[in-house]
Chain A
Amino acid sequence: MSETGGKPGLQTTDRAPTAPAEVSIGQIFLEFLIIGATSFGGVVPYLRGSLVTKRHWVDDKEFVEMLSISQSLPGLNATNMAILVGEKLRGALGSIAAIIGVCLPGAVLMYMVGIFYRHHGDHVWVTAALKGVAAAAVGLILSTVVGLSKKSLAGRFDFVFMALTVIAVNRLHLGVPRTLVGVGLLAILFHYPRNEQKEGAAQ
């Protein structure tokens, strides 16, 4: 992984009060390893409990801001958060320690699941249980969709963009990349910076 210059100076004074003097790479790895091993049912609440409440490595406002960055970038929230928090605490090495920590337990567990599933996946008991599990996963994703819509969709047009995305992928089979670029650009242009520009011009 390349380091972009490695400037510790970027962590300026406005962040200093919440960051403890020195968090070691080992501490970062261990904390994220614990999160990675215990975060049943979604990583984000566990991240908050651990990093904000327990360790005070980031404050609540910062956490929310990091989460909103994580959500608009490609990548999973959990791993993007690990990178952002790790970077804040100890730069590139902190990021690497955090992402490996948060991924390792789940990766090892799923590796074992894969071995078991390959040998017993067609057993009647397993297929019956998995049918229930897969249906539950659909309900789970739908609940995430509802939760996110309530939180971040503003106005009718956002629902139009959402619907356009679904139609482009599922009906027109345009593929995710073309849809992302096409509808994404349209939606970004629709939300072009109005007020800010006026403020800028007034000054």
Chain B
Amino acid sequence: MNQIPALVRVFAYLSLLTVGGGMAAFPEMKVLTVEVHKWLTFPQLIHLYSVGQMYPGPNMMMIVVIGDWAGGLLGAIAVLIAFFGPTALLAFIVARGWKKLEKWPWRTSIQQGLAPVSIGLLLAGCFTMAKGAISGVETAAIAVGVLLILLQYKVNPALLVLGSAAVGLISFMPK
């Protein structure tokens, strides 16, 4: 069955939810890609998102994989256009109009109001992910460790993610 129309619908919709960051759309992404369309499993979604943190570029590139699995190379390209097209167009329109809005008093209100909501969405996405990613003392310790190191030192996060892969290898290999 051709999945491309469904892929385009889902990812165009998800793109509009990414206020404040890609993670904001994560809870909805889980429902649509895992539960509704069954393009992948929840652990796979978590794995792909996490692996994406080790790669350069915008951090939601794992959507390419969902597109590929569900619809081949064409699906991957369709997903990219669907996910980045609508918000790109919106940003472009705003870029043209923003200067004119400088004097509009609600501009600041919108920015101030959306800040806590976007952070909340990020946190909600994080909790959704934690339900699948944190499964015991060891994984919790890795998460807390990474958090504390990042708050304390200026380390490249990609290196920490890579380091955690090594920790995972040592800790979770069946004996």
Q: Are B28 and A175 within 8 A (Cβ)?
A: yes
CA distance A68 to B20 in the complex (A): 10
Q: Are B106 and A193 within 8 A (Cβ)?
A: yes
The answer to whether residues A113 and B55 also contact, given A130-B50, A139-B143, A169-B27 and a CB cut-off of 8 A, is yes
In A152-167, the 8 Å CB interface with B consists of 152-154, 158-166
- Number of residues of chain B lying within 8 A (CB) of chain A: 110
Q: Are A161 and B55 within 8 A (Cβ)?
A: no
In B141-175, the 8 Å CB interface with A consists of 142-147, 150-151, 156-161, 163-169, 171-174
Q: Are B121 and A176 within 8 A (Cβ)?
A: yes
Q: Are B90 and A73 within 8 A (Cβ)?
A: yes
Q: Are B89 and A1 within 8 A (Cβ)?
A: yes
A159 contacts which chain B residues (CB < 8 A)?
116
Question: Nearest chain-A residue to B111 (Cβ)?
Answer: A72
Interface string of B35-52 (1 = CB under 8 A from A): 000000000101111111
The majority secondary structure among interface residues of chain A is: helix
CB of A184 to closest CB in B, whole Å: 5
Report which of A154, A158, A160, A191 forms a contact with B109, defined as CB distance below 8 A.
A191
The answer to whether residues A180 and B116 also contact, given A193-B106, A196-B108 and a CB cut-off of 8 A, is no
In B60-75, the 8 Å CB interface with A consists of 60-62, 64-65, 68-69
CA distance A188 to B94 in the complex (A): 18
CA distance A166 to B98 in the complex (A): 30
Q: Are A110 and B55 within 8 A (Cβ)?
A: yes
Can you name 18 extra interface pairs (CB under 8 A) apart from A78-B59, A131-B135, A134-B46?
A1-B85, A2-B89, A41-B156, A42-B59, A84-B91, A87-B92, A110-B65, A111-B64, A129-B168, A132-B139, A133-B51, A137-B46, A139-B142, A143-B146, A143-B147, A144-B23, A161-B116, A175-B31
Pick the 8 closest A-B CB pairs, nearest first: A132-B168, A106-B57, A165-B120, A75-B87, A139-B146, A114-B65, A193-B105, A188-B113
